[in-house]
A = this chain, B = another copy of it.
Amino acid sequence: MTDGILTCEQIITAAQDVLRRYGPAKATVVDVARALGVSHGSVYRHFPSKTALREAVTHRWLEEAHAGLAAVMASSAPADVRLREWLTTLSASKRAKALDDPELFATYMVLVNEASEVIQGHITGLVDQLEEIIATGAARGELATADPAASARTVFLATNAFHDPAHAASWSRPEVEEELNALCDLLLLGLKPR
């Protein structure tokens, strides 16, 4: 492979493979360059450090995990429907990541714990989406809240057993979906106008 056609995407994909093969403790930028058949300088031209490369890998993984939320954000359904769909979609995609490829998920748990800024930005983006759903619902009179941003933070926190990877070990239980549904019921009762 010549440097001319080396893209960030290709490097991130190679880095993911290398991380999976050698584990997050051992994987190096030289391993990534070797997998691509380029010099490590070529990799550093796109990512200034090993940390930057690992953060890019983490970022892409998180983005993929939440790609399904875009459809919910684009929907014009009532706020209670959208809120439930958003939470169900987030939970289902996290669960799929954890259960379909547990080894890769474990690798990402290590990366995620190193990349606190990436994670913080990512969580902020998710809570912003929730806020938009709640604010739209409040403007339409479908939901009642004086502070959509605060309500969004509270809903995100209340549902963390379904999206925080710290709880991944419990996601294979058959009752997970029913539990999330019951929780959505209670939260929506609390958010609906009286």
Contact = CB atoms under 8 A, between A and B. Distances in A.
Among the interface residues A157, A160, A183, A190, which one has the most CB atoms of the partner chain B within 10 A?
A157
A166 interface: yes
Specify the main secondary structure of chain A where it touches its partner: helix
A173 B154 CA distance: 16
A151 B153 CA distance: 21
Contacts of A194: 194
A153 B166 contact: no
25 contacts: A150-B182, A153-B179, A154-B183, A154-B185, A155-B186, A157-B161, A157-B179, A157-B183, A158-B158, A158-B159, A158-B183, A158-B186, A158-B187, A160-B160, A160-B161, A161-B164, A166-B166, A166-B167, A186-B187, A186-B190, A186-B191, A187-B190, A188-B190, A189-B189, A190-B190
